[in-house]
Structure 1
Amino acid sequence: MPNNTDEDTHTDVPHLEKLDSPTGSPPQSASLSDRIQLENCVSNLSLAHEIVVNRDFHFKPNNPPKDSLEGKITEIVHRAFWDCLREQLSSIPIDYSHAIILLQEVKTALQALLLPGHVRLRSQLDEVLDLELIRQEADHGALDLRRLAAYIVNTMGSLCAPVRDPEIRALRELTQLSADPVELFREIFSVLGLMKTDMVNFTVQSLRPHLLQQAVQYERAKFQQILDKQPGSLDNTTAWLQTAAQEEASVARSPFELGPEAPTNVPSQPGPVSPTAVLTRAYLHLLCWDPQDQRYPETLLMDRARLDTLGQTLNRLVLEAAVLLLTSTHCGGALFYLQGFVGKLKQTTVALLEGCHSRDFDLKGALLGLSEQVLAQVKEALTAHEGADLPQDHQDLLRGQIADLWKPNNPVRSLIGERVQGYLQAMLRGGPTQRTPGPPACLRLLSAELATLGAAFGQLVHFNRSVFGPFYAPILRKILFPAGEAEAGDDSR
């Protein structure tokens, strides 16, 4: 299997229209404008991907921590503005210059919240918040800020989402109490900021179905732009696929290495490695990726946090399944048919193994404590059901085997891990439209959790393959079918 150099990797970068055509060019010193364009491209790609993949995606108001530098600067600037406004409104004669600027910003914010159908409201807003008329009233000392504030609050009430009703109610109470106009407008601006965020999130949710239709082509085109500016942006992806291909080739060869007494009807050479099998193995690698390994494939960086979370869930489910299997083996299957026993056992296991993925988690100590809890629940169930107790040798064996699960090479843990990997592999091979395969017998008690994990993992993988299949194809072609060999059908898409 050839080792790809950087130069070879660059020639693998495809045009979307013609996969075999190289698009890379020699790296050149990037100008500031090029870097800004690249950062904008990456930012747009990440944002679009997050909206499409994360159904719960929403924008949040920008509220920096008060003890941060940004938070302190923001607080100083805001306090200075409102103090200046209060000073102007307290002067004789009253200075309305800051107040007029404030009203202009309020009008702009309200206009941004209007929908095309708000024709009458838009006309009314232009009439009441007529800046030219407001300036004339200010020049003659006749500007009534409280009246304008009351109109603004009523308009906000007609435009806001139901979730903002409590804030609008509080603003109306402030208006009726003849509160300090500075404090009133400060609160108005605060609620307007929330309403603008609500409008953005509403727009995102409204556009999401349309984004889903265009997401694959959009992300593919954006990534191509990144490759055009940084031709080496698939180096880690190439290494990731090459590792998976080597492992898949090794697995494919193993049945044929049977020694001199092998049956004569077994072919002497394994068949070609399937690109689909390589991609499936590569995706599964991401669920157990070493956090210290920084060579994460570029095509999956936007999903790394999600995949890391799924990997942590996988690790916990393996431990949980191992505990259930050992308990069932030593205590008899009949105990697991008792109402509530399995649920209580799972609940205890999840609680004591929470956070087991973190580096500072004492897995050995947690499993030792879990073994004692499991034994206590088993004794309680046996006493209530059969009036008997678990033999001491069985207790010692169960306690020791659960405690030994902290070792990564523990046989039971390794066996469960292989079964889970096989289950996920079967789900990926089946594709998003196929029926979900049933879990192995040792995993049936966790079938719901595994199905949830597999569905989330499968969705990420399916979307990633849809977007980046044209980029994987030439890399896999070079790895699996070196020059001079006949190419089999490419099914990496």
Structure 2
Amino acid sequence: MPNKNTGDAVDDPHTDVPPLEQLDSPTGSPPSVSNMMDLENCVANLSLAHEIVMNADFSVKHQSPPKHSLEERVTEIMHRAFWDSLHEQLTSETPNYSHAMILLQEVKTMLQSLLLPGHVRLRSQLDEVLDIALIRQEADHGSLDIHKLAHYIIGIMGSMCAPIRDPEIKALRVLTDPVELLREIFRVLGLMKMDMVNFTVQTLRPHLLQQAVQYEQAKFQQILEKQPSSLDCTTAWLQKAAQEMAPVVRPLSQPGMETWHGHSCGPVSPTAVLRRAYLHLLHWDPHDQKYPETVLMDRARLDTLGQRLTMLVLEASILLLTCTQCGGVVFSINGLVGKLKQTITALLEGSHTREADLREELMGLGDKVVVQVTEAMVSHGQIPMPQDSQDLLKGQISDLWKHNNPIRSLIGDRVQGYLQAMLEGSFTKRSPELPDTLRVLSAELVELGTAFGQIAHFNQTVFGPFYAPILRRLLFSPPEAETAEDSR
């Protein structure tokens, strides 16, 4: 069992898994309820399998009702009513064990669900000790000892639980109130159930990795058959990337070919279009709902990488401006670059989502950068920057809020080129060389590029067969498309 805290119990294994967006119905008559349920099952299974494969730390977690919601209030009232009723039954002059019987049966069922096939003797012992019919007879004759049963249950739980649950088991042993004891047993069993679920998930993960591509392809094909419009947004996404690359299309045999971004101009390859399309995902407008269906399961991860990318571009731009104004002294003072990086990250975290917030934070950041650089230069016997250079640096930093700022655009293009180079090679190979201006952020960029490359590589492997016909229609005339089809 894994020694990992996984949260409270939950009965729905799909909880906390980012689902695919709900797909629109195809043109024509609405789908039947049965078809819609099949479609939802396909989407849920595909999302769950994909999340397990892509997220090494995946675990099933409890989804509590929203705070201060009606659902939370009703749940709280129902639970309190049950436990209050149990307390009244057990403390009355003539104890009533009807609710206790329900709990003991549920506890037995949960314990049985945690047993492995090899626990034959333990299963037999559990059936013997927690014989509900016999326990009910003892209750009817007034000879039922709840504490004795509870301590037997606690002993079984202690022998089966993950080490991380040892403190909870220890706490159970000192409880004396029967209602509190049963309630805590029930709670800890829920935690153990989640531990078992997540242990099973981690055990199955290597097998899922081996079959993931074929499984996801088959599931998406089922979705496509039930919902023919499931590639509409994907087609628009690829079409936009193809249109942007259209100016570089030129026959390979034509003499005097120009170059584009250092490469000879020629026919646009489907792979190049797909790489550009992947890069678009890092700059996706959050208000644009037409996200490609084939990448929806990774949208949260890609949005996080996109936000991280924006932060790194701003950070590199500020460091470049600071280095320029200080004549390179910044990079020679031990520890200053790291301190500046920490300050920039702390002040800009979250502000990049709104231009107004970013502009305000950058104005204050310029002052802090100048102060830190000045203090470091003075402490190392360097001549501080002149006042006009300080004012200029502050103004240059505050001006970075503009997307078309020359320095920000320059750094952005170089980072984009680095990420493109990551996509052009296998993500398992050595990372491409970084430009000089980005080497101070090499660790962060390698981490970002590797994560992005893994997502793109896996997505291309899974959905390549679905992309191929779309890209052929976009890039080739009908005869060429047929030739491309025949050559596969």
TM-score, scaled to structure 1: 0.88
Structure 2: distance between partners of 1:107 and 1:136: 17
For 1:232, which of 229, 233, 238 is the aligned residue?
229
1:475 counterpart letter in structure 2: I
Structure 2: distance between partners of 1:59 and 1:123: 30
Structure 1: distance between partners of 2:407 and 2:480: 42
Structure 2: distance between partners of 1:424 and 1:109: 49
Match of 1:99 in 2: 100
Segments of structure 1 that go 5 or more residues without pairing to the other structure are 1-23, 257-262
Native 8 Å contact 2:252 2:267 kept in 1: no
Structure 2: distance between partners of 1:267 and 1:143: 91
Match of 2:6 in 1: none
Q: What is the deviation of 1:117?
A: 2.4
1:199 counterpart letter in structure 2: M
1:329 counterpart letter in structure 2: T
For 1:281, which of 276, 280, 285 is the aligned residue?
276
Closer/same/farther in 2, CA of residues 447 and 59 from structure 1, 3 Å limit: same
Q: What is the deviation of 1:198?
A: 1.0
Q: What is the deviation of 1:251?
A: 4.1
2:343 counterpart letter in structure 1: T
Structure 1: distance between partners of 2:167 and 2:419: 47
For 1:419, which of 414, 420, 436 is the aligned residue?
414
Structure 2: distance between partners of 1:25 and 1:443: 47
Give the percent of matched residue pairs that are identical in Structure 1 and Structure 2. 68
CA offsets, 1:38-97, max 9 Å, x none?
Answer: 112111111111111111111113432452222222222222222232233234533222
For 1:302, which of 275, 280, 297 is the aligned residue?
297
Match of 1:435 in 2: 430
Native 8 Å contact 2:321 2:397 kept in 1: yes
The alignment partner of 1:362 has SS state of helix
Match of 2:9 in 1: none
Closer/same/farther in 2, CA of residues 478 and 255 from structure 1, 3 Å limit: closer
Structure 2: distance between partners of 1:309 and 1:488: 40
Closer/same/farther in 2, CA of residues 69 and 386 from structure 1, 3 Å limit: same
* Range with bigger deviation, 446-455 or 352-361: 352-361
Match of 1:403 in 2: 398
Structure 1: distance between partners of 2:255 and 2:61: 67
Native 8 Å contact 2:26 2:229 kept in 1: no
CA offsets, 1:307-348, max 9 Å, x none?
Answer: 111000000000000001111111012331211111111111
Structure 2: distance between partners of 1:488 and 1:431: 28
Match of 1:147 in 2: 148
Structure 2: distance between partners of 1:375 and 1:66: 44
Match of 1:136 in 2: 137
Match of 2:478 in 1: 483
The alignment partner of 1:58 has SS state of coil
The alignment partner of 1:186 has SS state of helix
Structure 1: distance between partners of 2:292 and 2:148: 59
Structure 1: distance between partners of 2:120 and 2:251: 73
Match of 1:122 in 2: 123
Matches within 5 A, 1:317-396: 317-359=312-354, 362-396=357-391
Note if 1:459 corresponds to 2:454.
Answer: yes
Match of 2:439 in 1: 444
* Range with bigger deviation, 388-397 or 312-321: 388-397
Q: What is the deviation of 1:285?
A: 0.2
1:433 counterpart letter in structure 2: T
Structure 1: distance between partners of 2:427 and 2:54: 15
Closer/same/farther in 2, CA of residues 367 and 144 from structure 1, 3 Å limit: same
Structure 1: distance between partners of 2:208 and 2:272: 30
Note if 1:248 corresponds to 2:249.
Answer: no
- Pairwise CA RMSD: 2.4
Native 8 Å contact 1:113 1:196 kept in 2: yes
CA offsets, 1:269-311, max 9 Å, x none?
Answer: 9521100100000000000011111110000111111111100
Structure 1: distance between partners of 2:98 and 2:255: 97
The alignment partner of 2:150 has SS state of helix
Match of 1:72 in 2: 73
Native 8 Å contact 1:245 1:479 kept in 2: yes
CA offsets, 1:170-197, max 9 Å, x none?
Answer: 10010xxxx2211210111111111111
Matches within 5 A, 1:173-192: 173-174=174-175, 179-192=176-189
Q: What is the deviation of 1:360?
A: 7.2
Match of 2:159 in 1: 158
Q: What is the deviation of 1:25?
A: 9.1
Structure 2: distance between partners of 1:247 and 1:51: 35
1:388 counterpart letter in structure 2: I
Native 8 Å contact 1:145 1:181 kept in 2: yes
2:182 counterpart letter in structure 1: F
Larger RCO: Structure 1 or Structure 2 (Cα < 8 Å, ≥ 6 residues apart)? 1
Native 8 Å contact 2:217 2:462 kept in 1: yes
Aligned residues: 458
Closer/same/farther in 2, CA of residues 326 and 313 from structure 1, 3 Å limit: same
Native 8 Å contact 2:252 2:266 kept in 1: no
Q: What is the deviation of 1:254?
A: 13
Structure 1: distance between partners of 2:255 and 2:218: 52
Native 8 Å contact 2:473 2:481 kept in 1: no
Q: What is the deviation of 1:388?
A: 1.6
Structure 2: distance between partners of 1:135 and 1:397: 85
Structure 2: distance between partners of 1:284 and 1:62: 33
Structure 2: distance between partners of 1:287 and 1:308: 6
The alignment partner of 1:461 has SS state of helix
2:385 counterpart letter in structure 1: L
Match of 2:201 in 1: 204
Native 8 Å contact 2:374 2:385 kept in 1: yes
Structure 2: distance between partners of 1:359 and 1:58: 32
Q: What is the deviation of 1:222?
A: 0.9
Structure 1: distance between partners of 2:377 and 2:97: 81
* Range with bigger deviation, 377-386 or 25-34: 25-34
Match of 1:48 in 2: 49
